[in-house]
Every structure is written in structure tokens, then in C-alpha cells.
Chain A
Amino acid sequence: MNIELTTEQKALQLEVREYMKTIMTPELLQEMKIPEYKEGGGPEFRKQYARMGADGWIGLSWSKELGGREMTHVEQYIFTDEVVRSGFAYPFLTTEAVTPVIAANANDKVRDEVVGGVRDGKVVIAIGYSEPNAGTDLASLTTKAERDGDDWIINGQKMWTSLANFADYVWLAARTDPDASKKHKGLTMFLVPTTLEGFSHTPVHTLGVRTNATYFSDIRLPDKYRVGEINGGWKLITGQLNIERLSLFTHGQVDSLYQGVCEWAAATPSPAGGKLIEQSWVQHNLARVKSGLEVVKLICWKQAWSMDQGALDMADASVAKVYGSEFFVELYRLLLEVMGQAGAIATDSPGAVLKGKLEFRWRVGSILTFGGGANEVQRDIIAMAGLWMPRTR
């Protein structure tokens, strides 16, 4: 039992932190001020993403055969944590969640095309799971793929397809057997190039960032873009969701907000005299944030470590999701309270504290408790997998 990064791990942390400073160029920071490009997709984003690929930073934990470095999950987490801390809109779902599944299940040609493209920092993949009527109950999705000779004809609509406005592919879950005995048994996974005729998207403006509704209208898709077995999609989706949850709640992104607010409060005069950070109510909020943050760090480390040891415990993965999402929202509030009225001033308005980062993160954070698997479902999983309690109804 030794809960501390090793010297080598600390060196990697520092290396990534320094490297990411070179990625966050002034041009990129300028580009990210354009709402359309806030979450990536602009030319400068593309340029820096490709540079990370060329410099060998993408796919650290992949096998050498795929062009990765076979790093441990702990090292991979250290990388993820620092990249998120830097503010770069790195497409984690593409690199960490979806690509390994594609590598393991796609046919050789598509594997080379897609996995190679991701490794080089040239490919971004959007996730096409949710639909207007299939959210938490994902297995009820109705977008359908019908066989036609060597091709599939795809029709339907997806919702919340983030990055689809600039992604190269959509990782699509579609129904291939409408008569399956259980609805999750009739699903198949496809990679849909966004250049195909019949694909379109419209923006959906959320409280935080832009996302998309995507439309699939008589798209003719060659069978080589099917990933995994016909009607075998559910396993690929659920396997990926567990990994997705791991990259959602990293420590660095909120730790840097916390540190920023501490520094701000230490430099800002209080009307009561002295600095704001000397006020007991400010100290109280900062201490509550700090004690919660420590658990975020430990949960992340433990999960990464567990993955290196073998399997990730199902209940633990759900604990991380529920705790992370609910604490992030709480942290935003506690830190915004310290700023008071100024906490509500948006980025680029005069007087915005810490460039309005917290105001913005709170907006984005409101999706955390239901995104990536609603917390109610996670609690069901915890009760069943962690405590052997019966299924709720």
C-alpha cells in the first residue's frame, strides 16, 4: 500500500504538463473563443491534434501493433489528467473509448483506415447512441440498418451527437433485428463516414456547448463499416461505456479551478478588511472543495490501478460516476459562491473572474449527472453488484 505517484510517474506528469503548454498555442486559444470551435474542430485544433499524433502522444495504452506505447492505465490516466487540465479539447471518447473497441472488432481494412487515422491525430469520431426517445433506456433505440446486398441502408435520427459537426465518422448503434426476443439483442455497431450522402446534422445549443442532432436518411453503407457481429452491438456499447466513465471525471480539470480560485481569493481584498481568503466562510468552502477533490484523485488513481491489475469492478465504476458527477456540480457551486456576484460574469465580459472559466464549467457540468448513464441507473448497479441486493422495479 503506497498511495503516491512514483518518481517516474511524476516525471511523466511533468513532461505532459510542459508538452501541453506547447499545444495550447495563442492561435488555438484565440480560435477557442469562437463558440463553434470551443470544443475543437477548428483548423488550429486540427493542426495541434495532428501534432500530438506525430509526436506519439495518441494511444499511449494501445498495443505496439496498433502503434501505441503499451503504457499502463496509471500512466494513461496521468496523461489524460494533464491533457484535460491544459484545456485542450482532446477527443478522449475517440482515442480511449471507441478506438480500442474498433481495433478489436473491425475488419482489417477499416481498422487500418480508422485506427491509423486516430493514431495520427487526423480522425475524430462522434458517438451515435442516444435518440429522441432512447436515452437512459438506450436499448429501445429505433435507428435501423437493413441489409441490401453487400451494403446496409440506414435510416433514423440520433440526438446529442457531440462533435458530429466536424467528426469524420459517427460510431452508430442501429437496430438490425426488430424482432429480437430482447430489445438489446437486435443491435449492431457501424462506423458511418460523415461524408456519405444522406448524413446531415443540425446544431443543438445547450446551456454549455454546442452539440448536434444527426440524421441518417437512406444512407448506403458498405458492410466493411460494420464493427463486430450482426446483432452483437450491445456488448460493444456497454464495454465502451465503462471506459468512457473513466475519462469523464479526472482530477486535474477541477483541481486547477480550485487552485485558481484560491489564488484569486488570496489576491482579492475583502470588504471586511484583509483578503477574501481570510474570511472563515471562504475557508470553509475551500476546505470542503479540497476534501472532496482528494477523493476524486484517489478514485481516479484506484480505478487506473485496478485496470492494470485486471478487471474494473462494476460497482466501483458506478461509484466513480456518481461521486464524480455529483461532486463536480457541488464544487462548481462552492467555488462560485466564493466569487459571489462576480461568479456570474461570463467569459470575455469585463470583470469575469478567472476568464469566466467556472461560470462556463458549471454550464457544461449540468449534464454530468445524467450523461454517460443516469445516476439512478448507477445506484441500481451499485446496490446489485456491490451489495447483492435484488433488482429494483
Chain B
Amino acid sequence: MDFTISEELGSVQQLAQQILADFTGVDQLGIIEQQQERIDGKLWHALAEAGLLGLDIEESMGGTDMGFYSLAMLCEEVGRTVAPVPVIPVLVSTAGTLRRFASPAQKEQWLPGIANGSSLLSAALEEYNNDDPAKPACSATAMEGGYAISGTKICVSSAGSAKRILLSATTGDELVVALVDPLAAGVTLTPQVVTSGETCHELQLENVQVPGDDIIATGGKALEAMEWAHQATRTALCAMAVGVCDKMMRITGQYTSEREQFGRAIATFQAVSHRVADCYIDVECLRLVTQQAASRLDQGRPAREAVAIAKIWCGDVTHRVSQASQHCHGGTGVDRDYPLHRFCLLARQIELSAGSSALLTAQLGQDICAAYT
């Protein structure tokens, strides 16, 4: 058992912190928020230059191959700075899945471009009332040289600039994982503004023809791919939540130490300081379960239970820390000229993505039942 952040990982973290700090000043965040698609292209490019987009991509594909844990750490730092870069959909859900499940030719085609920042691929894992990409409602029908896919995916990030979108559909008998070209005939993208402020898209597919070259996996391998993508995406969201919540709590600790009412800093009231102390406990709990899930995925060990537990904590902690932070700030917390609101919005977005605490608690309970009967 070893909780050490290795020197290698430590330097990745430091590098990420330096670059992200340079691009996430309040003014700069405000400028990107005015854009239609909320991606800071310059920051994305800088991350690519530093080798940070290829943390979980093989060296032969242009990556640095530092492993999943390092990618989770990058997600945490992005959360800590609320940086407008799509690290989870592009690097975790898509590149991570391609790396593990795509053919050598497919990897050759897409991974080097992701690693060097020249091409962006996204993933569409969720449907209405369904966060599980291993059980999609979208349908796939085998056709000459590929599949025709129909159905609806929701809240797709970065769909506007993605060259391909990774998604799953079912033939009724088996699962199909495919890369869909958003410009293909039958694809309709409808903007969906979500809590974080990002403009995502509803992705409608009407008999969209996907050539065999863009079919990543079918059957058992497709199932394995979507289970991995689901777990990895959840874990990355938890890591991002650690960064978001840790920073929110520290902003709140500092604000309450400076803000005076009744002639004294409000942090000197136990009612206030204890609320922040509770955030500290929550963040530590979330950090530990997230580290466990990420290290299991990093080592390729079974992670279903560890990931479920991490995401349950993630939903609860993002909610509690966000509400406590806003409350302790009074009106300042909701003022859009003050930085806290971005963290609160992202926290809620993370909470609702890829499965809520309530859903995962129910699923964990079913797993426990199955293990004992």
C-alpha cells in the first residue's frame, strides 16, 4: 500500500498547474465564456505542446503514456482552475477507450491527432434517462460495410468541433461501439445549454451510415469498452470534483477569514468555521475514494465497486461543499463578478453527469444483494 505521488506524477501535476494558471485568469475565463463553444483553443494547444493531452496515449501514437492515474490528476487540476477545456470527453471517454479497444489502424488514424491537439474527438455516452452506454436505447442495424445507427444522445460536449463522436448502439442482440462523423447525413445537432454554462448538443441520429472503418467494437468487446468508458468517465468526473471542491472550500476559508461582521472575521464564529471544516472532511473523503478508483483503473484491476462508491461520494460532496460555500459567502457567492459561481455551476454539472448518487446507491445495493444471495 502506497499513497505516494511519484516524482514523475508530481512533475506532471506541477506542469499542469503552471500552464492552467497562465490561462485561467478571471478576465480570460470571461472572454472564453462569450464564445459559442466554450473551449480555450490556445490553452488546449499549450497542453498539447507540454505533452499533457497524451498522458494516457501510447508513445508510439504520440503520447507520453504516463497512465490513467496521471490523466485523472490532470482532470483534478482542470477542476481546480475551472479551465474551459474538454479533458474528460476527449481524453478520457474517447481517447482512453480508443487506446484500449480500437484496432491499430483506428488508433493510428485518431490518437496522434488527439495527442498533438490537431484533432478533437468527443463522446456521447448519455441518453435521456439513461447514463449507461453499455445499455443504449440507440439502435444499430448491420448493413453492407458497416452499421446504420438511429436514436438520440444528449448533452454531448464539444460536438461542434469534433471530427468524430464515440457512441454506442444496440442491434438488439449485441452492442456496437462506433465513431460517428457529426457531418454525416442523418445527424442533427441541437444546442443544449447546460448548468456549467457550456453549450452542449443533443445528437439525433436518423439512419446514420457508419462505415466499417469507424466501428470500434461489437459484441463482448464493445460491452467491455463501454463498461471501461463508463467507469473511467465517472472516475475522471470524481477527480475533477476533487479539484473543484478543494478550491471552493479554500476560497471560502479565505473569504470568511477576511469578511467582518459584528466587528470580527466571520470565521471566528464556530457556526461558520465548522461548516467549512465539514467541507474539509468531505473533500478528504472524496479524495480518498477517488484515488482508490483511479489507481485501480490505472492498474487495470476490477474497479466497478470502487468507482460506484467514488461517484456516490462525488454527488454528495459536490452538492454539500457548493451549498456551504455559497451560504458562507452570502450574496457575494452568487455574484457573477466573483469567481465562486463558476465552481458551483461546474460542481452541479459533475454531480448530474454519468449517474447520480441516488442511482449509484441503488445499483451498489443491488450488487451487495447479488453478492450475498
Contacts and interface: CB of A to CB of B under 8 A. Distances in A.
Same complex for A and B? Answer: yes
Interface of A: 1-6, 9, 74, 262-263, 265-266, 275, 277-278, 280, 282-284, 286-288, 290-291, 294-295, 298-299, 301-302, 305-306, 309, 315-316, 319, 322-323, 376, 379-380, 382-383, 386-393
Nearest to A284: B365
Contacts of A383: 253, 267, 273-274, 276-277, 280
A266 to B, nearest CB: 4
Given A322-B277, A387-B277, 16 more contacts: A1-B5, A4-B1, A4-B295, A9-B1, A275-B373, A280-B362, A298-B289, A301-B3, A302-B288, A305-B1, A305-B3, A379-B270, A383-B267, A383-B273, A389-B273, A392-B268
A262 B265 CA distance: 48
B284 interface: yes
A298 B267 contact: no
Interface in B293-313: 294-296, 298-299, 301, 306, 308-309, 312-313
A2 B274 contact: no
A1 B313 contact: no
Contact of A291 (B9, B267, B268, B361): B361
Contact of A277 (B256, B298, B364, B369): B369
Contacts of A278: 369, 373
Contacts of B267: 383, 389-390, 392
Nearest to B293: A3
Contact of B256 (A380, A386, A389): A389
A383 B285 CA distance: 16
B291 interface: yes
B257 A380 contact: no
A246 to B, nearest CB: 15
The A contact surface, by secondary structure, is helix
Contacts of B309: 290-291, 294
B292 interface: yes
A302 B284 CA distance: 11
A323 B373 CA distance: 31
B181 to A, nearest CB: 38
Interface of B: 1-6, 9, 69, 249-250, 253, 256-257, 264-265, 267-270, 273-274, 276-278, 280-281, 284-285, 288-289, 291-292, 294-296, 298-299, 301, 306, 308-309, 312-313, 361-362, 364-366, 368-369, 371-373
Given A9-B1, A392-B269, A284 B362 contact: yes
A2 B299 CA distance: 8
9 contacts: A266-B372, A288-B361, A299-B285, A305-B1, A305-B3, A319-B284, A383-B273, A392-B273, A393-B268
Contacts of A290: 309, 364, 368
B364 A323 contact: no
Nearest to B250: A387
Contacts of A322: 277, 281
Contacts of B285: 295, 299, 323
Nearest to A1: B295
Contact of B253 (A265, A277, A288, A389): A389
A312 to B, nearest CB: 13
A298 B6 CA distance: 19
B305 to A, nearest CB: 8
Contacts of B249: 387
Given A263-B372, A386-B280, A6 B273 contact: no
Given A5-B1, A383-B277, A291 B265 contact: no
Given A280-B365, A287-B368, A295-B289, A3 B278 contact: no
Given A299-B288, A386-B280, A389-B267, A286 B253 contact: no
Given A380-B273, A383-B277, A74 B1 contact: yes
B365 A287 contact: yes
A262 B372 contact: yes
Q: 10 closest pairs, A vs B, by CB?
A: A283-B365, A387-B253, A287-B365, A298-B288, A379-B277, A266-B372, A287-B364, A382-B277, A383-B273, A379-B274
Nearest to B313: A291
A376 to B, nearest CB: 7
B264 to A, nearest CB: 8
A115 to B, nearest CB: 29
A382 B5 contact: no
A288 B362 CA distance: 9
A129 B19 CA distance: 53
Contacts of B284: 299, 316, 319, 323
A319 B249 CA distance: 15
Given A302-B288, A386-B280, A380 B295 contact: no
Given A323-B281, A391-B268, A392-B270, A277 B373 contact: yes
A316 B306 CA distance: 22
Contacts of B365: 280, 282-284, 286-287
B232 to A, nearest CB: 16
Nearest to A305: B3
A319 B280 contact: yes
B362 A287 contact: yes
A57 to B, nearest CB: 21
A364 B364 CA distance: 29
A291 B249 CA distance: 23
A275 B6 CA distance: 47
Given A319-B280, A391-B268, A392-B269, A1 B274 contact: no
**Most chain-A Cβ atoms within 10 A of its Cβ — which of B288, B289, B301, B365?**
B365
A319 B270 CA distance: 16
Nearest to A9: B1
Given A1-B4, A291-B361, A390 B369 contact: no
A389 B269 CA distance: 11
Contacts of B277: 322, 379-380, 382-383, 386-387
Nearest to B301: A4
**Most chain-B Cβ atoms within 10 A of its Cβ — which of A262, A291, A376?**
A291
Nearest to B298: A1
Contacts of A386: 277, 280
A390 B265 contact: yes
A6 B313 contact: no
A390 B288 contact: no
A290 B361 CA distance: 10
Nearest to A321: B281
Contacts of B3: 1, 3, 301-302, 305-306
Contact of B6 (A1, A74, A376, A389): A1
Contacts of A299: 284-285, 288
B235 to A, nearest CB: 13
A96 to B, nearest CB: 19
